[in-house]
Amino acid sequence: MRISGPYLGLVVIMLFSVLGVNAQYIVTLDAEVRNQQSSEPVVFANVRILDKQIGTITGRDGSFLLRFDDEQVHDMEVLEISALGYQTRQITLKQVYRLLERQKSLELQPLDEAASSTEFLDNQGNYQWGRVLMFKEPLQGAKISIPGTYQEVYSNSDGLFKIPIVDENTLNIEFLGAKTASAQVNTTDTLNVALKPEGERLDEVVLSGQGKDPYGRTPEQKKRFNSAGFAVSQLTAAQIPDWMTTMDQVMSRVPNLWWERGPDGIIRYFMPRSAGMEVGGGGLPIIVIDDMIYPQNLGAVIPEIPVSEIDLVSVMPRVMAVIRYGPQGGSGAIVIETKQNRIVLDGNNAIEERSGLIQGNDFEEELTSIGDISTELSFVKELEAATSFEQAKEIHLRQVESADKWGIGFYTRSAAYFSKWDKNYSLELLMKIASVAPTNVKALRTLAYHLDQYDAKNRARSVYQRIMMLSPGDAQSYRDLANIYVETGEVVKGFELYKLILANETEGVDFSGLTESAEMELRRIVKHHKGRVDYMTVSNDLLDHSFKKDVRIVFQWNDPSAEFEVQFVNPQNKYYNWNHDMFAMQDRMTEEASTGAMMEEFVIDDANSGNWQINVRSMQDDKGVSERNPITLKYTLYRNYGKPDETQYSGAIDLSLLKQKVALDQFLN
């Protein structure tokens, strides 16, 4: 068997065979799924037997292989084939057997030419190839786009990209913390683009680095996001043995960190050349302890920290160190975080420090509910003037001619309006996004988030599968696909993907920032579906029969540059703010751009009963509704997570519509 990607298998055997095994029969379907009109292979189509844990995905040539026991699956069971841009097909296995006696492929009827096209997977055609560098190192996660279009791609772990072009386009190359660069298309040569740090932003970072984090982020609430392009080696408090008593002993355990004793007898630490650092010439990484910077030059005194107070040690390569700390980080940084400022979510208070309750965090605002905010968009106002469904449709059809002016928001906001008339009509409007931006991952995530909100799980699955095709280097693509498989009843597929995430051995993908979420979701699968998965293949600590959480809240966003604030208000009217912005989290946001992991979760468990409120505020520099491809924030709230009576619902928010802080949700705990 030759494997390409996590599920893209190509197996060359008989077209259809029935093999006798111990008086039973194993049925093997080896076929292809093709476009009924063009005969092109349908890539990443979902193939499954309804109501059974049997399914697979087509490969890049449209092929799939499915094996099952004929005593468990009868001839009248239904095979379902679905893919983005195609009519879902359901056909009995008896009909499948007859078809495959005459032909090798099963066909799907395309609904939309743009959405169903697979030309973007073909290396032939008019493409610009290139490579993005920073400090002469490959840069992963840089966005390469053609202005005025939805054509955009991201560089992979080697800094490489390819983007389809028309005529003599100009490309924009962007990365968080770097100056945007422009390049003229030249299809005869590979473009090499060197990005430079953004000086103004670096000045802000250097200044803010002199004090404590103004938002009080904690190890419980902030993820250890690592960059695949610039790997950050880390050692957590849990990995420090009890017998260690000195800093030097701890540092000896940190991956990718070397040491040698200097002429003054003091041990100094550095990164090997293989980590992208320049050891020669006397360049040594700075040591950063709770945001205080200490150089390692001769005569420098670095404070000794009690081992029991160390929470996290990170080795940061020079690209990330310069972005975070300015020129002082030119040889990298060793970042040490202590426990002295740790804060935790608590059942009695939304936020509590080790030294006692934070003062002055009483919530006293009167906020508008997100469902009550008014819009100034002219096309929405025209729709709201309609007195009937038919009249509203006529208005919408006239508006379609200027849809490009409004961008993706035209479809999401129109769908929101029409949901009061006809949910199916709203879904069809949303699916237009797959036609106007079939290869734009940011737009497709907006589509998927809104489909989740409408509980259109099967449609969302097709979109998440397309995203996986387009961004196989993004950690989030795997997690979202695993999650939607579980939601659509394909638990085995989801289970195997979560195991892949936790193994963190996929070349070019760094899943370390998703470990905690994947573990929680895997525990839930094992508890709910133990009889349907091979639970013996996971570690014992994930087999917790008592696992449950009263409330779990998950936030996701479609762009690492998203800037917003989430506020929690507990029953005692105390609030806690979590900020995702370039002032508080530049290092994390830079890592998100590289890894593609963009989510955060919060758990409220065993807390006092009462009313909780979640508020949200956009911090998008007032970009306004002119954003053609807006930043979308998705939230999912689970009640009784992991218990038989678990419930959940999702919402999708266009941050460009929020001009002020709004009340997002309320719930009783």
Residue-wise pLDDT for 328-346, tens only, equals: 887 888 988 887 644 444 4
Strand (E) positions, 493-646?
549-557, 564-569, 575-580, 599-604, 611-618, 632-641
Instruction: Assess contact for 482 and 501: CB atoms under 8 A.
Output: yes
Quick one: pLDDT at residue 244?
85
- Distance (Å, whole) CA 159 – CA 620: 27
Res. 635: pLDDT tops 70 = yes
Cβ-in-10-Å burial (0-12, 13-18, 19+) of 188 comes to exposed
Strand arrangement, sheet containing 46-49: 54-57, 46-49, 78-82, 89-92
Tell me the percentage of the chain whose pLDDT exceeds 70. Answer: 83
pLDDT tens-place string over residues 215-238: 333 333 333 333 323 445 678 887
Instruction: Assess contact for 173 and 163: CB atoms under 8 A.
Output: no
Question: For residue 338, how many C-alpha atoms fall within 13 Å in the half-sphere facing its CB?
Answer: 17
Indicate left, alpha or beta for 621 from its phi (over 0: left) and psi (-120 to 50: alpha).
left
Q: What are the start and end residues of each CATH 2.60.40.1120 domain in the chain?
A: 2-116, 123-196
Q: What is the DSSP letter of 178?
A: B
Quick one: pLDDT at residue 614?
94
Longest CA–CA separation in the chain, Å: 85
Token pair 């650092």 is found at 277
Res. 326: pLDDT tops 60 = yes
Which of 441 and 541 is assigned the larger pLDDT?
441
Strand-pair category, 127-134 with 191-195: parallel
> Is the domain covering 2-116 a CATH 2.60.40.1120 domain?
yes
Rounded (10°) angle between helices 441-453 and 457-470: 160
Cβ-in-10-Å burial (0-12, 13-18, 19+) of 269 comes to buried
Q: In what helix (H) or strand (E) does residue 224 lie, and over which residues does it extend?
A: none
Where helices occur in 84-164 by DSSP H, the ranges are 93-102, 113-116
* pLDDT, mean of residues 189-205: 67
Encoded tokens for 365: 């605002």
Strand-pair category, 24-35 with 105-108: parallel
Q: What is the DSSP letter of 620?
A: S
Quick one: pLDDT at residue 440?
93
Res. 206: pLDDT tops 50 = no
Closest CA to 668 of 542, 592, 571: 571
The pTM for the full model equals 0.72
Mean pLDDT of the chain: 80
Res. 204: pLDDT tops 50 = no
Closest CA to 428 of 395, 456, 401: 456
The rounded Cα 201 to chain-centroid distance in angstroms is: 25
Indicate left, alpha or beta for 518 from its phi (over 0: left) and psi (-120 to 50: alpha).
alpha
- Please state which of the ranges 28-32, 334-338, 540-544 shows the lowest mean pLDDT: 540-544
* pLDDT, mean of residues 258-287: 66
- Distance (Å, whole) CA 432 – CA 85: 10
Instruction: Assess contact for 226 and 212: CB atoms under 8 A.
Output: no
Q: What are the start and end residues of each CATH 2.170.130.10 domain in the chain?
A: 203-344
- Distance (Å, whole) CA 571 – CA 663: 15
Q: What are phi and psi of 214, to 5 degrees?
A: -65, -15
Q: What's the pLDDT band for 117 if we cut at 50, 70, 90?
A: low
- Distance (Å, whole) CA 447 – CA 115: 13
Q: What's the pLDDT band for 254 if we cut at 50, 70, 90?
A: confident
Q: In what helix (H) or strand (E) does residue 267 lie, and over which residues does it extend?
A: strand 267-270
Residue type (1 letter), 14: M
289-297 long-range contacts (CB < 8 A, ≥24 apart) are: 289/336, 289/338, 290/212, 290/336, 290/337, 290/338, 290/340, 290/341, 291/209, 291/210, 291/211, 291/212, 291/213, 292/210, 293/209, 293/325, 293/328, 295/328, 296/268, 296/269
* pLDDT, mean of residues 17-46: 77
Closest CA to 216 of 350, 363, 309: 350
* pLDDT, mean of residues 315-327: 75
Q: Which CATH superfamily is domain 123-196 in?
A: Carboxypeptidase-like, regulatory domain (2.60.40.1120)
Residue type (1 letter), 77: E
Res. 88: pLDDT tops 80 = yes
* pLDDT, mean of residues 342-351: 39
- Distance (Å, whole) CA 121 – CA 264: 58
- Distance (Å, whole) CA 3 – CA 65: 12
- Distance (Å, whole) CA 65 – CA 73: 16
Q: Which residues of 22-43 are buried (b: 16+ CB within 10 A; e: fewer)?
A: eeeeebbbbbbbbbbeeebbbb
pLDDT tens-place string over residues 421-480: 999 999 999 999 999 999 899 999 999 999 999 999 999 999 999 999 888 889 999 999
Quick one: pLDDT at residue 341?
47
- Distance (Å, whole) CA 581 – CA 450: 24
Closest CA to 247 of 320, 301, 284: 301
Q: What is the CATH number of domain 203-344?
A: 2.170.130.10
Instruction: Assess contact for 564 and 619: CB atoms under 8 A.
Output: yes
Which of 316 and 203 is assigned the larger pLDDT?
316
Instruction: Assess contact for 518 and 478: CB atoms under 8 A.
Output: no
* pLDDT, mean of residues 276-297: 70
* pLDDT, mean of residues 586-615: 86
Quick one: pLDDT at residue 559?
92
